[in-house]
């Protein structure tokens, strides 16, 4: 008899986001005055895990943080969202830090100092995905560990999702273990474009296009476009992560990809309307309210 797989396992980064609000990025050699925008829990992995849990799916998060005060902040966020934290504390490296420039109009530029994220080992990743129905990963942690998580998930019968962010050439070699690949237009181009992704084994590619919505590209199939919800964004940091987390949650609950994408767009819209990459405002109810408004 096979084991019953449940919930979502997210393998990825956890960062403390230090946000500065500024009208534009600085030029080389220039000092710009900005406004302190706050300190938030972040990291693509953590954001996605929180979004999955806040979308209603039992969720585990596998990550490595430092043994410091920043890690306490992140653990608190995970606990408040109801995420099961498979989070190891490193004695050697500090918690990852992201320096976020929150630009006028809601866009952002981000620099990440990986810190303890770089210590996430294959063993951590494989243990982290055991028993999950859906495995979700991104590329802010060592790619070998991501590959191991996807392979372990695939072998166990889980549905695997890779959000190839930031883009990394190693993505191509992982595609045989990926059921759903999520990329934005920049990442897609950096990986050689849709045709190359399909030719390299990607069966299902979700191309996110910001305010242009998302398009589902199945190998040999007709593209399916899902329009974005119209919003006035406050802070788009983590909106793409909320999309991925909510997508994983919906797929773990048996939704068809086409429907799951609409829910995921709604989750991204909720997060973009609030400061910080994770917001307690994200819930099955706030997602449902967006869906009802369409």
> What is the dihedral angle through the alpha carbons of 283, 285, 286, 289, rounded to the nearest 10 degrees?
160
C-alpha dist (Å) from residue 113 to 69, 189, 200, 201, 205: 16, 25, 31, 32, 29
Q: Which is nearer to ligand RIB, 171 or 237 (CB)?
A: 237
Q: Which of 240, 247, 235 is nearest to 272 (CA)?
A: 235
Size of the site for ligand RIB (CB under 6 A): 16
Paired tokens of 167: 């883009």
Smallest separation, CB 238 to ligand RIB (Å): 5
Q: Using CB under 6 A as the criterion, what x/- string covers residues 208-247 for binding ligand RIB?
A: -----------------------------xx-xx------
Question: Would you tell me how many other CB atoms lie within 10 Å of the CB of residue 4?
Answer: 7
Among 8, 11, 15, 116, binds ligand RIB (CB under 6 A): 15
SS3 state of residue 184: strand
Instruction: For residue 44, state whether it binds ligand RIB (rule: CB under 6 A).
Output: yes
User: 3-state secondary structure string, 195-224?
Assistant: HHHHHCCCCEEEEECHHHCEEEEECCCCCE
Q: Which of 43, 56, 94, 245 binds ligand RIB (CB under 6 A)?
A: 43
**Binding residues among 140-199 for ligand RIB as defined by CB under 6 A:** 140
Q: CB-wise, 177 or 235, nearer to ligand RIB?
A: 235
Q: Which is nearer to ligand RIB, 14 or 158 (CB)?
A: 14
Stretch 256-285: interaction string toward ligand RIB, x if CB under 6 A: ---------------------x--------
CA distances from 44 to 14, 24, 76, 128 (A): 7, 23, 17, 16
Q: Which among 240, 243, 234 is positioned nearest to 275, based on CA atoms?
A: 234
Question: How far does Cα 288 stand from its chain's mean position?
Answer: 21
Give the integer Cα–Cα distance in Å for 240 and 121: 25
56 contacts ligand RIB (rule: CB under 6 A): no
Active-site annotation holds for 232 = no
Compute the least distance from the CB of residue 140 to ligand RIB, in Å: 6
Query: Interacting stretch for ligand RIB, rule CB under 6 A, among 9-17, 58-66, 267-275, 279-287?
Result: 9-17
Catalytic residues: 241
Residues that bind ligand RIB (CB under 6 A): 13, 15, 17, 42-44, 47, 98, 110, 112, 140, 237-238, 240-241, 277
């Amino acid at each position: 008899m096979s084991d019953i797989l449940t919930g979502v396992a997210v393998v990825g980064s956890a960062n403390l986001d230090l946000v500065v609000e500024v009208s534009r990025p600085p030029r080389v050699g220039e000092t710009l005055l900005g406004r302190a925008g706050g300190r938030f829990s972040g990291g693509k992995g953590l954001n996605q895990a929180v979004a999955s849990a806040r979308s209603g799916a039992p969720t585990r998060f596998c990550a490595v943080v430092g043994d410091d005060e920043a890690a306490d902040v992140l653990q608190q966020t995970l606990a408040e969202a109801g995420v099961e934290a498979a989070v190891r504390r490193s004695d050697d490296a500090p918690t990852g830090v992201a320096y976020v420039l929150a630009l006028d109009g809601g866009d952002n530029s981000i620099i990440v100092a990986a810190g303890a994220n770089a210590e996430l080992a294959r063993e951590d990743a494989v243990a982290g995905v055991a028993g999950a129905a859906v495995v979700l990963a991104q590329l802010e942690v060592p790619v070998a560990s991501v590959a191991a998580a996807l392979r372990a998930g695939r072998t166990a019968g889980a549905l695997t999702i890779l959000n190839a962010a930031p883009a990394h050439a190693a993505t191509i070699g992982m595609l045989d273990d990926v059921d759903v690949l999520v990329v934005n237009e920049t990442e897609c181009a950096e990986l050689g474009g849709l045709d190359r992704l399909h030719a390299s084994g990607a069966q299902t590619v979700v191309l996110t296009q910001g305010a242009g919505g998302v398009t589902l590209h199945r190998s040999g199939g007709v593209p399916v476009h899902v329009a974005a919800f119209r919003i006035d964004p406050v802070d788009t940091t983590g909106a793409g992560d909320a999309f991925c987390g909510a997508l994983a949650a919906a797929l773990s609950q048996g939704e068809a990809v086409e429907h799951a994408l609409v829910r995921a767009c709604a989750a991204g819209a909720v997060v973009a309307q609030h400061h910080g990459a994770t917001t307690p405002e994200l819930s099955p109810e706030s997602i449902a309210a967006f869906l009802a408004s369409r």
